[in-house]
């Protein structure tokens, strides 16, 4: 994992990947098995075990912009479509999986859309919905919380 391009505060709290199987994938399979046998509350607990990462500070993403970070073995784009409104999405374009920036840093935007550098797909900075280009599939949503000036994502 290389976090050297991440914002200065983007230090993962835990490592997510083990032997080619993500912890999330293993927990999802476990949760699905529990739900199958009717242990819903245990199933929900397994899902709740997602890890939380300090991805950046609120000042690292300007209003109206989008910025990609590498954390927890994933590329995540954080947006601030309106003042104090933050969103996070999987940074892989839903057309051919290219990341929305060639390296961690600013993602090209125009108004309220992010633009994929590969073939120009456009994604809404608030919802992640596809707004044009060669895909109609939205970006994957990532849970984001803000505590003071700290932006956190969970997956
Ligand atoms: S990979 Fe993004 S538009 Fe083709």
- Sheet of 85-90: strand order equals 52-57, 150-154, 141-147, 85-90, 74-82, 66-71, 105-107
Closest atom, ligand 1, to C-alpha of 97: 1
In short, whether 118's Cβ falls inside 6 Å of ligand 1 is yes
User: Do residues 38 and 106 share a domain?
Assistant: no
Identify the domain containing residue 34 by its residue range: 17-49
Q: To the nearest 10°, the Cα dihedral for 49, 54, 55, 56?
A: 160
Helix (H, G, I), strand (E, B) or coil at 13: coil
Q: According to the model, what pLDDT value does residue 30 have? A: 53
User: Do residues 84 and 131 share a domain?
Assistant: yes
- For residue 127, the CA-to-ligand 1 centroid distance in Å is 18
The partner residues of 105 in beta bridges, in order of sequence, read: 68
User: Do residues 149 and 87 share a domain?
Assistant: yes
Q: According to the model, what pLDDT value does residue 16 have? A: 41
Q: According to the model, what pLDDT value does residue 13 have? A: 45
Closest atom, ligand 1, to C-alpha of 93: 2
Is the residue at 8 inside a domain?
no
| CATH number reported for the structural domain that contains residue 80 in this entry | 2.102.10.10
User: Do residues 40 and 105 share a domain?
Assistant: no
Low-confidence ranges of the chain (pLDDT < 50): 1-21, 34
Q: According to the model, what pLDDT value does residue 141 have? A: 98
Is the residue at 2 inside a domain?
no
Q: Are 153 and 55 in contact (CB under 8 A)?
A: yes
User: Do residues 75 and 104 share a domain?
Assistant: yes
Q: Which of 94, 93, 95, 127 is nearest to 107 (CA)?
A: 93
Number of independent structural domains in the chain = 2
Q: What is the pTM of this model?
A: 0.72
Closest atom, ligand 1, to C-alpha of 98: 1
Q: According to the model, what pLDDT value does residue 92 have? A: 98
56-100 pLDDT, tens digit per residue, is: 999 999 999 999 999 999 999 999 999 999 999 999 999 999 999
Q: According to the model, what pLDDT value does residue 4 have? A: 40
- The Cα–Cα gap between 106 and 133 comes to 20
């Amino acid at each position: 994992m290389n976090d050297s391009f991440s914002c200065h505060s983007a230090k993962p709290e835990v490592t997510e990947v083990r032997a080619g199987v993500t912890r999330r994938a293993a927990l999802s399979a476990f949760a699905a098995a529990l739900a199958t046998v009717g242990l819903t509350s245990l199933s929900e607990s397994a899902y709740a075990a997602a890890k939380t990462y300090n991805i950046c500070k609120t000042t690292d993403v300007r209003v109206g912009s989008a910025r990609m970070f590498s954390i927890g073995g994933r590329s995540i784009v954080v947006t601030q479509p309106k003042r104090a409104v933050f969103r996070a999405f999987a940074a892989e374009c839903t057309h051919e999986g290219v990341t929305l920036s060639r390296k961690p840093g600013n993602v090209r935007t125009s108004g309220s859309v992010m633009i994929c550098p590969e073939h120009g797909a456009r994604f809404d900075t608030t919802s992640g919905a596809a707004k044009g280009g060669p895909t109609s599939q939205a970006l994957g949503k990532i849970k984001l919380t803000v505590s003071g000036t700290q932006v956190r994502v969970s997956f």
